[in-house]
Amino acid sequence: MTNFIPVNEPIVGEREKELVLDCLNSGWISSEGPYVSRFEDSFSRVVGRRYGIACANGTAALEIAVAALNLGVGDEVILPTFTIISCAAAIVRSGATPVVVDVNPDSWNMDPDLVAAAITPRTAAIMVVHIYGLPVDMDPIINLADRYGLALIEDAAELIGGTYKGKPCGSFGTISTFSFYPNKHITTGEGGMVVTNDSSLADRCRSLRNLCFNPDRRFVHSELGWNYRMTSLQAALGLAQLEQLDHFLKIKRRIGHKYNSAFQHLEHLTLPLTHTDYATNLYWVFGILLQADVSFDAHSAIQMMARLGVGCRPFFYPLHLQPIFKDMGLFDGAHHPVSERLYRTGFYIPSGLALTNEQIESVIESIRIILGEN
Q: What is the pLDDT of residues 72-106, one digit of tens each?
A: 999 999 999 999 999 999 999 999 999 999 999 99
- What value does the mean pLDDT take over residues 175-198? 97
Residue 29 lies in a domain: yes
- Residue 216 has what pLDDT? 85
- Residue 373 has what pLDDT? 84
Q: Of the candidates 84, 78, 139, 129, which has an alpha carbon nearest to the alpha carbon of residue 107?
A: 129
- From 165, 167, 184, 250, active-site residue: 184
Residues 210, 356 within the same domain = no
- Residue 33 has what pLDDT? 87
Q: What is the pLDDT of residues 2-61, one digit of tens each?
A: 689 999 999 999 999 999 999 999 999 999 889 999 999 999 999 999 999 999 999 999
- Residue 44 has what pLDDT? 98
CATH of the domain at 274: 3.90.1150.10
- Residue 41 has what pLDDT? 98
Residue 9 lies in a domain: no
CA 66 to chain centre: 16
Q: What is the pLDDT of residues 123-146, one digit of tens each?
A: 999 999 999 999 999 999 999 999
Give the residue from 242, 271, 287 where a domain finishes: 242
Q: What is the pLDDT of residues 299-309, one digit of tens each?
A: 999 999 999 99
Which residues lie across from 176 on neighbouring strands?
154, 195
pLDDT at position 191 over 70 = yes
| 154 contact partners, CB below 8 Å, separation of at least 6 | 127, 128, 130, 169, 170, 172, 173, 175, 176, 177
| 195 contact partners, CB below 8 Å, separation of at least 6 | 43, 44, 47, 49, 51, 52, 53, 170, 171, 175, 176, 177, 178
Residue 1 lies in a domain: no
- Residue 228 has what pLDDT? 98
Look up residue 14 and give its amino acid.
E
Residues 142, 169 within the same domain = yes
- Residue 215 has what pLDDT? 86
167 tagged catalytic: no
Mean pLDDT of the chain: 97
Q: What is the pLDDT of residues 218-274, one digit of tens each?
A: 899 999 999 999 999 999 999 999 999 999 999 999 999 999 999 999 999 999 999
Residues 183, 233 within the same domain = yes
Residue 8 lies in a domain: no
Residue 288 lies in a domain: yes
Residues 202, 272 within the same domain = no
Cα 112 from Cα 102, distance rounded (Å): 10
CB 111 within 8 A of CB 137: no
Residues 185, 305 within the same domain = no
The structure's pTM equals 0.96
Give the residue from 190, 217, 242 where a domain finishes: 242
Residues 82, 161 within the same domain = yes
Give the residue from 211, 242, 273 where a domain finishes: 242
Sign, CA torsion 18/20/21/25: positive
User: How many C-beta neighbours within 10 Å does residue 318 have?
Assistant: 24
Q: Of the candidates 286, 328, 320, which has an alpha carbon nearest to the alpha carbon of residue 103?
A: 320
Host domain of residue 214 = 14-242
Residues 227, 310 within the same domain = no
Residues 214, 274 within the same domain = no
Look up residue 114 and give its amino acid.
L
Report the residue count for the chain.
374
CB 188 within 8 A of CB 59: no
Residues 192, 57 within the same domain = yes
Q: Structural domain tally of the chain?
A: 2
Per the rule left: phi > 0, alpha: psi between -120 and 50, beta: everything else, 74 is left
CATH of the domain at 230: 3.40.640.10
pLDDT at position 287 over 60 = yes
- Residue 2 has what pLDDT? 62
Residues 275, 183 within the same domain = no
Residue 85 lies in a domain: yes
Residues 220, 351 within the same domain = no
Share of the chain above pLDDT 90, in %: 96
pLDDT at position 66 over 60 = yes
Residue 162 lies in a domain: yes
Residue 271 lies in a domain: yes
Share of the chain above pLDDT 70, in %: 99
Residues 178, 167 within the same domain = yes
